Chain A
């Protein structure tokens, strides 16, 4: 049960002002409640929430290595099961730890079918170490390892479809959500925790420092990602999509021009072909998930 009045991720953490991941942690701990054990891999959240001897967490929390959060959670789950205890295990890891480094352990843990909830806060690059690209970095985003310049428009590869990979492992519950819709986030995390077996929730959490925008715009930008179709909020039960957030789509340009990581698409000259390529990604998403609301045009 969500304890919505209780703060289990406390003030005093060292995240940037306007941090999307910090908000994600607050909301996830609310949904998980106090009878839960959190496992965090290395990443920005681990660094800003627990610089020793401080900790922002008010629930039991264990830091694993970058790659083995899922393995540590598997061990905790097995030990609790043996003791007949009912605490819920929640993993909180970034997109780098999930999409790239932790892949082997995640695949193993999902295949073994441990009862835990894996939350990936997706800020689309390795923010903690200085904005390097990850498997979650979207097409054409400029990062320090995929810099935009004379020879490049930034990251050349599209974002990896992690929810589909985990659904293919037979995960009973897979969902994507965003900090821009807190009620949806709370509901999905609660549902993921209540589902027996390994479940996965991917939370879109904009990073003001890494993406290059003012901290006050975090929620507005998260909302724009959904409104342009570049991020889709959906729910998958036993591999089948059961719920999709529908929108009246805006052009992707409105999302791109708010962020410094896409600035090279507009300055010094506008790159129409690249913007069209990103629009095509949004159009493909819209078609795949059926997110478009058909408006009845008045004659």
Chain B
């Protein structure tokens, strides 16, 4: 592999690395219970929880490592961790 000058890399090139494959437990978001506080989005270390047009939150499973912070911190307990079948 040839190194670029100064070992430079394109901004955000880490997106090529789909960390979702690391996951063992998958967060399932229950939109019925959601109060739209956005805690899951704020506290996600991956930054992979996104808000949709209705103000509801969904994780991007291509990157979600399944750490479970969102499920523990959700004040409405609207997120549950389920063992993923692969």
Contacts and interface: CB of A to CB of B under 8 A. Distances in A.
A11 B9 contact: no
Is the interface on chain A under 10, 10 to 19, 20 to 34, or 35 or more residues? 35 or more
Contact of B72 (A11, A13, A56, A216): A216
Pick from B22, B66, B72, B81 the residue with the most CB of A within 10 Å. Answer: B72
A130 B84 CA distance: 30
Contacts of A14: 14, 17, 19
Q: Which secondary structure characterizes the binding site on chain B? A: loop
Interface stretch (A19-27, A111-119, A258-266): A19-27
Is the interface on chain B under 10, 10 to 19, 20 to 34, or 35 or more residues? 35 or more
11 contacts: A10-B12, A11-B15, A11-B62, A17-B22, A23-B43, A50-B14, A54-B17, A215-B68, A216-B68, A216-B72, A220-B72
Contacts of A54: 9, 13-14, 16-17
Contact of B19 (A12, A20, A57): A12
Interface of B: 1, 3-4, 7, 9-19, 22-23, 42-48, 60, 62-63, 65-69, 71-73, 81
A52 B11 CA distance: 12
Contact of A18 (B15, B23, B69): B69
Interface of A: 7, 9-20, 22-23, 26, 49-50, 52-59, 179, 182, 214-220
Contact of B14 (A12, A179, A214, A218): A12
A52 B9 contact: yes
A49 B60 CA distance: 19
Given A18-B68, A55-B12, A57-B12, A12 B45 contact: no
A15 B45 contact: yes
Contacts of B18: 12
Contacts of B43: 23, 179, 182, 219
Pick from B7, B45, B67 the residue with the most CB of A within 10 Å. Answer: B45
